[in-house]
């Protein structure tokens, strides 16, 4: 008998400003496969950062990664932002059951103070 496991991710777009997008409410991936989530943000402002959060049931959202442009890598995810900044793609490498969650794509404007950017 073969045990089959999979990862289900739910993508919800939450924004501080704008990110209107039609996304599937859930996606299934085989465990061990890269999980790829896209977000469209057509009216993104010049100084807005793209943040991704993961929320597990009965918990508050947890930060995953953020960026302004190009590609950003962390130990748990990578974020690729299109050159026109109107879309971004989050990749969770080798998805596991722990990656089963609701994911939020959020736009936040950068704010500067004397200590630097509160990005």
Domain ranges for the chain = 13-110
Tokens (6 digits) for 11? 């993508």
Instruction: Give the model confidence (pLDDT) of 61-112 as tens digits.
Output: 999 999 999 999 999 999 999 999 999 999 999 988 888 888 889 898 876 6
Strand partners, 95: none
Q: Which of 4-13, 55-64, 106-115 is modeled with the greatest confidence? A: 55-64
Which single residue is written with the structure tokens 């996606």? 27
Q: Are 113 and 84 in contact (CB under 8 A)?
A: no
Question: What is the predicted pLDDT for the residue at 71?
Answer: 97
Tokens (6 digits) for 80? 């690729």
Tokens (6 digits) for 65? 């990664």
Q: How far apart are CA 43 and CA 93, in angstroms?
A: 29
Q: How far apart are CA 83 and CA 60, in angstroms?
A: 31
Q: How far apart are CA 96 and CA 100, in angstroms?
A: 8
Query: Strands 35-40 and 87-92, how do they pair?
Result: antiparallel
CATH 2.60.40.10 fits 13-110, yes or no: yes
pTM of this structure: 0.77
């Amino acid at each position: 008998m073969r045990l089959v496991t999979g990862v289900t991710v739910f993508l919800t777009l939450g924004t501080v400003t704008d990110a209107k997008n039609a996304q599937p409410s859930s996606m299934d991936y085989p465990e061990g496969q890269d999980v790829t989530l896209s977000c469209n943000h057509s009216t993104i402002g010049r100084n807005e950062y793209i943040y991704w959060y993961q929320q597990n049931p009965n918990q508050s959202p947890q930060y995953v990664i953020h960026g302004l442009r190009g590609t950003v890598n962390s130990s748990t995810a990578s974020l690729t932002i299109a050159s026109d900044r109107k879309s971004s793609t989050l990749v969770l490498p080798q998805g596991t059951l722990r990656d089963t969650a609701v994911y939020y794509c959020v736009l936040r404007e950068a704010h500067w103070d004397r200590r630097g950017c509160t990005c």
